[in-house]
Amino acid sequence: MRVAVVQHDIVWCERQANFDRLAPRVAEAADDGARLVVLSETFSTGFAVESDSFAEPENGPSSQFLRAQATEHGVWIAGSCPEVPADSRADDQRPANPLVLADPGGNLRRYRKIHPFTYGGEDRYVRPGADLVTVDVDGLRVSLFVCYDLRFADEFWQMAPETDVFLVPANWPASRRDHWITLLRARAIENQAYVIGCNRVGVGGGLEYSGDSLIVDPFGEVLAEGPDTECTLYAEVTAERVADVRDRFRFLPDRR
């Protein structure tokens, strides 16, 4: 399957402006043969957790944008957007930070980020998720994570036997770019699975973002990497490559 990672800048808390900028990029990726298109964390707002305009209702404009793009172009598309869950209590209207995955038929799956980023104050404004999620995407087992989750290897280990691809959209700042690059490759090597990291570029909330999006194969080889500017990365990912690496290097069964 051909995957496209759309490394993009974000207009701070201006959803329609971001939709308008991203729609042509998604169309271009689909025209170039991508079946799965990955956008960044908080692709429609930026990491504006303290803003009153950060959250939206579940199935709000951002997830509807993903659904519309998926059905229009016949692709799978993923991006994280802050949503207040439909079953929220009246006294807790904090959003979750879900990675929303839309399929070509317009169906939505959600993984709610389990680890809010306490160093950046996300835990004060965003509720944690609880459930790990894997989705069959055209025969590939794709497990969903968001940004800070990348630092928690145990959950990747837990899911590895039933995963071919890990998705990790992010708003990861340039000041810790070496951590981002190292951890993406580590998660691929130790779990013998593809890892697809999509990070934003530009400046938002006083922080600089350097991109460095990566598509890493199950042996840790970098198939595509982004610079510090907007771009789209492409790579072919297959379940057969995962099975071959795991068959030749039987490391996962030795994990205790």
| pLDDT tens for each residue of 78-117 | 999 999 998 888 778 899 999 999 999 999 999 999 999 9
**What pLDDT does 89 receive?**
82
Percent share of the chain, pLDDT over 90? 96
Active-site entry in 81, 83, 113, 198: 113
pLDDT reading at 213 higher than 80 = yes
d(C-alpha 219, C-alpha 241), whole Å: 9
In the block, which residue shows the tokens 């970098």?
Answer: 222
**What pLDDT does 210 receive?**
96
Whether residue 147 lies in the annotated active site: yes
pLDDT reading at 256 higher than 80 = no
Helical ranges in 98-253 per DSSP H: 122-125, 153-159, 177-191, 239-248
**What pLDDT does 215 receive?**
98
d(C-alpha 80, C-alpha 100), whole Å: 6
Active-site entry in 13, 81, 147, 198: 147
pLDDT reading at 118 higher than 80 = yes
CA angle 166, 168, 174 (to 5 degrees): 140
d(C-alpha 142, C-alpha 132), whole Å: 11
pTM summary value: 0.97
Encode 200-235: b = buried (16+ Cβ within 10 Å), e = exposed.
bbbebbebebbbbbbbbbbebeebbbbeeebbbbeb
Encode 16-41: b = buried (16+ Cβ within 10 Å), e = exposed.
eebbeebeebbeebbeeebbbbbbbb
- Residue 175: which pLDDT band, with cuts at 50, 70 and 90? very high
**Structure tokens of 151?**
């630092």
- Residue 177: which pLDDT band, with cuts at 50, 70 and 90? very high
Whether residue 41 lies in the annotated active site: yes
**What pLDDT does 74 receive?**
98
pLDDT reading at 200 higher than 80 = yes
**What pLDDT does 91 receive?**
77
d(C-alpha 238, C-alpha 241), whole Å: 5
Q: CB burial class (10 A; 0-12, 13-18, 19+) of residue 68?
A: middle
Residue type for position 223: L
d(C-alpha 118, C-alpha 233), whole Å: 30
**Structure tokens of 131?**
């459930």
Active-site entry in 41, 56, 58, 122: 41
**What pLDDT does 98 receive?**
98
Residue type for position 37: V
Query: If residue 18 lies in a helix (H) or strand (E), which one and from where to where?
Result: helix 15-31
